[in-house]
Amino acid sequence: MSTTGPVPDLAERATACADRLLESGEVLLASHIDADGLTSAAVASTALERAGFDFETVFKKQLDETEIATIAAHEYDTVLFTDFGSGQLDVIAAHERAGDFQPVIADHHQPADAETAFHLNPLLEGLDGASELSGAGAAYVLARALAERGDQSADNCDLAALAVVGAVGDMQAVGGELVGANRGIVEEGVEAGVLAEGTDLSLYGKQTRPLPKLFEYATEVQIPGVSGDEAGSVRFLEGLDVDLKEAGEWRTWVDLTDDERQTVASALVKHAVQRGVPAKKINTLVGTTYELVDEPRGTELRDASEFSTLLNATARYERADVGLGVCLGNRDGALDRAQTLLSNHRRNLSEGLEYVRREGVTHEDHLQWFDAGDAIRETIVGIVAGMALGTDGVSASKPIVALARKNDEETKVSARGTGTLVREGLDLSAVMGEASRSVGGDGGGHDIAAGATVPAGREQAFVDAADDIVADQTG
């Protein structure tokens, strides 16, 4: 393996961070709780364990002044932040100056205007943190440097599989494929024998869903007569010259032979063309897939996309311990609990989407929004907003802003855009940050997806400010 690591542009920063950690021996690992944060923590904690560290892991739903103070109260001399920390660098740097702890940061979010010595972030080297490297990717680059600088036999390349799950979970697959710095990680995973990269149907659920459900729930591309139509999906499959049942039970996509998959995929494309689905949409039916080859076939853990969704479900219901357990291979009980959380999560998303369909969105000149109040959990309102983009009554040509009650004093805001809008100049990280601060809140994130917290009662003022900022960006 290369001594410059999987991402040569970050090698110098990774080495500096690894050396600083190795000097300390004792570390508090603090990580975010979404799929990218959980895989970041799993990659980092495995690397720390292999390097012989004493460490403790804590998860935070969001990192603010209060949470950073609780981290300082743990009284560790060194704190490793993964998948957050850059955006809160001003507060972290103040603790560093006060001598509370030495931060080491492996993140990919937009950095705040402050300096710290040990900061591994693709954005600092001109790489795109929204599409080229995730938090888990940054943690992996650090893990590889720790292996090279430390006294250990493992090179940590086996952790590339989890880094890919994190990147896919953070919506970094551009046109279905991981690009930029992520490529180096994929290549190391394939070479280490833990990852297989292939081309296949890009529908979600190929490992676990019975075939009719795979197509009925195929919302990535709306195919008339199949998507959202249980009877239509069964009719489509029964019209094919393929034996799609075994002992009376529907097979899954992974049960099919290559020839059978080819037959079904060709028929699906033909059906989509006949029903007038645009060619651009049809092309997205096939994409790059990433399989974790050490995981059992037919489980969520085999497919990077399904694995990341399983992890997100544990995070949304504040069971980061379950998600981390699954990542670390502790399957006794953790996997069952994660699967239960996932089925609850799917039901809540479905109900959330139904709420948006029923209540509709309010259209401003440059954005659209809805306020769910208590009707949708604040931890999933952003996912619902993303799913709603482009559905009936929700424009795909404007970003969507979703609000939900966090507590009596605060409202959670989540914003989602599209790749097209980002290419036109949209940067939701700036929109959320500036608009929230203008009403006494705070926020940030990525150009295509971001969030904020605003004081209760200031929602309309926030929306008005956000609308003006989007106008400036895309006008």
* 345-378 pLDDT per residue, tens: 989 988 999 999 999 999 999 999 999 999 999 9
- How much is the pTM? 0.85
In the block, residue with structure tokens 């994660």: 338
Residues of the chain scoring pLDDT < 70: 1-3, 219-220
Contact status, residue 6 vs residue 141, Cβ threshold 8 Å: yes
Sketch out the chain's domains with CATH numbers.
Answer: 8-169 (3.90.1640.30), 200-351 (no CATH), 360-474 (3.10.310.40)
Contact status, residue 134 vs residue 127, Cβ threshold 8 Å: no
In sequence order, which ranges of 193-327 are alpha helices (DSSP H)? 211-216, 230-238, 258-274, 279-283, 304-316, 320-327
What does the pLDDT read at residue 1? Answer: 44
What does the pLDDT read at residue 4? Answer: 81
Of 48, 44, 49, 47, nearest to 59 by C-alpha is 44
| Strands of 46-124, DSSP E | 54-60, 78-82, 102-106, 119-120
| Strands of 98-238, DSSP E | 102-106, 119-120, 195-201
d(CA 159, CA 192): 9
* 294-324 pLDDT per residue, tens: 999 999 999 999 999 999 999 888 899 999 9
Question: What are the Cα distances from residue 302, in Å, to 187, 252, 308, 426?
Answer: 18, 14, 11, 35
What does the pLDDT read at residue 88? Answer: 95
